[in-house]
Amino acid sequence: MKFSSILLPTLLLVNTFVQAQQPQALANSGSRAESEKIGLQEAVDVALKNNLSIRQSGLAVENSMNTLDQSKWARYPNLNGTANLNLFTGRNINPYTNGIITNTVGSNGFGLSSGVTVFDGFQTRNNIALNQTNMEVARLDLQAMKNQITLNVVVAYLNVLSQEDLLAIAQRQVEVSRIQLERTQKLVNAGSVPETNLFDIQAQLANDEVQVVNAENAIISAKLTLKQLLNTAMERNIDVVRIEVPNPNIQPYPNSSSEVYEIAQSFLADVQAADMRVKAAQKAVDIAKGLRYPVVTAFANANTNSTTAAEKIIVTPSIIEQRAGYVDIGNTRYDVFAQIPSTTTTTEKIGYLRQIRSNVNTSIGLSVRVPIFNGYNAKFRTTGAVIQQKQAEVQAENVRLRLRQDIETAYVNMSNSAKKFSALGNQVRALEEAFRASEAKFNVGSLNSLDYSISKTNLDRARANQIQAKYDYIFRIKILDYYQNKPLNF
């Protein structure tokens, strides 16, 4: 996992008093407004809720779920209906008798068709598995992003606390300088020390007040970073709830860097997502191989139609009497009539519904599409999928490599921070004793103001460095805890 985005706010933990210069008017206006208290867990919840990247990743998860559902339904038969309405003019073929007609003819038809893939080289099955894996990848990416933002919020929250502690130190130094100014003023009035000492103390007090202004501005910058992580307006005046951040207990870390790595790679979403991408690439190879197999499809159709040219011929039989001659019987002539059968033909339009019912036809069958030559499409698709699989495998190895390197770096930084905090503790204690001695000498006039100011400045700087080292060490510990899925609380 790449922690460049995390280490950037970490720089705020090791800045100096003058790292951020903001207009003092902004600090004054913020102090006049009523502040809104926000705790660490609340800050994390707000950041996760308001972060636009998380929303986008959430939509990616929904889209992958939709794609998965769509691929699952591809296993089932489809069903489609058709309807048409036509009007023909001029010389046309009678759709009912197939004879030639010249009058206007209208036709109407309906149809239902259904088909299902019986076999496609397991492409449908593998596509479902691919989309299932892609959905898991999207979920893991979302979880990794949430973890990243949570860690960033913790860093920003700690930075605000550290800057507030630095402000408290700066304010205490101002009070010390003011008390010393009053003492020096009395000594100058009594003639015990020269007036130049008073000027030096006044300069020291002015410098301490500048440090307070710088510390206040640093708090504004730290809060702005936190507000940006919360995706809230800069004008929103917030104060973090103070949490008890204990002084570091310089003890050997319970796990080695290799143990932390083994734990981290077993659960970190980044690593799991990389492994899932390898599985997805394997399924893509299987899909490409399926292009070499025949595709068997079953189908069924039902259709009916009607036309305005449809006519029913009605034949009506009849008998016609016709004189055929005569016969003489006893010198009497008798006419002879013949009865000749005859028929009359008429036409009658066939009704619309009757045509629809009578013209129904159905079909059912199987079709087989055998790939013979398609420009080596299956070959190139398979080769490309294999290459992408290898890329995914290398990427997974790279994720593990970066994770191991990040853990090793975090482990070394944690050890160095512990040593630095311990050394600074000894330095602060030594400088406190030195300053007390210098202050006592200065009060009786046996130490000049320059040496007094140097002693006080050294102590102030050491205390500030100790505060920064404290939070830096805690942050390093929290990074290692994060790699082991431990809660980021205090």
- Can you give the CATH number for the domain in which 252 is found? 1.20.1600.10
**Is the residue at 410 inside a domain?**
yes
Which DSSP string corresponds to 32-79?
Answer: HSPPEEE-HHHHHHHHHHH-HHHHHHHHHHHHHHHHHHHHHHTTSPEE
153 in Cβ contact with 223 (< 8 Å):
no
CB atoms within 10 A of CB 21: 12
Q: Within its chain, how far is the Cα of 111 from the centroid?
A: 45
**What are φ and ψ of residue 172, in 5° steps?**
-65, -35
Q: Which residue's structure tokens are 């479902």?
A: 128
Note the pLDDT of residue 5: 39
**Is the residue at 112 inside a domain?**
no
Q: Which two tokens stand for residue 60?
A: 């990616």
**C-alpha to C-alpha distance for 323 and 337, rounded to whole angstroms:** 4
**Is the residue at 54 inside a domain?**
yes
19 in Cβ contact with 169 (< 8 Å):
no
Strand partners, 343: 317
**Is the residue at 323 inside a domain?**
no
**What are φ and ψ of residue 468, in 5° steps?**
-65, -40
Contacts of 490 (CB under 8 A, 6+ apart): 40, 243, 244, 245, 246
**C-alpha to C-alpha distance for 1 and 261, rounded to whole angstroms:** 11
User: What is the torsion angle, in degrees rounded to the nearest 10, for the CA atoms of residue 124, residue 129, residue 134 and residue 138?
Assistant: 130
* pLDDT mean for each 10 residues of the chain (490 residues): 38 34 38 72 92 94 96 95 90 78 87 95 95 96 92 90 90 87 83 81 89 93 94 87 75 86 91 95 95 95 90 81 75 77 82 90 95 92 95 95 93 88 90 88 77 83 87 86 78
DSSP 447: S
Contacts of 252 (CB under 8 A, 6+ apart): none
Note the pLDDT of residue 106: 87
- Map residue 445 onto helix, strand or coil: coil
SS3 content of the chain, % helix, strand, coil (to 5): 60, 20, 20
CB atoms within 10 A of CB 347: 9
Give the N- to C-terminal CA distance of the chain in Å, as an integer.
24
**C-alpha to C-alpha distance for 411 and 479, rounded to whole angstroms:** 9
Nearest to 155 by CA among 37, 16, 9: 9
**Is the residue at 326 inside a domain?**
no
Note the pLDDT of residue 294: 95
Cα 153 to Cα 129, 174, 352, distances in angstroms: 36, 32, 74
Note the pLDDT of residue 489: 66
**Is the residue at 271 inside a domain?**
yes
Nearest to 470 by CA among 213, 250, 222, 274: 250
Q: Are strands 36-38 and 238-240 parallel, antiparallel or unpaired?
A: parallel
Q: Which two tokens stand for residue 93?
A: 């073929």
**Is the residue at 109 inside a domain?**
no
**C-alpha to C-alpha distance for 205 and 180, rounded to whole angstroms:** 9
The total number of structural domains that make up the chain: 1
463 in Cβ contact with 429 (< 8 Å):
no
Nearest to 8 by CA among 151, 207, 135, 163: 151
**Is the residue at 115 inside a domain?**
no
Q: Is 106 exposed, middle or buried (0-12, 13-18, 19+ CB in 10 A)?
A: middle
Range of the structural domain that residue 44 is part of: 4-75+120-293+388-483
In this prediction the pTM is 0.76
Radius of gyration (C-alpha) of the chain in whole angstroms = 46
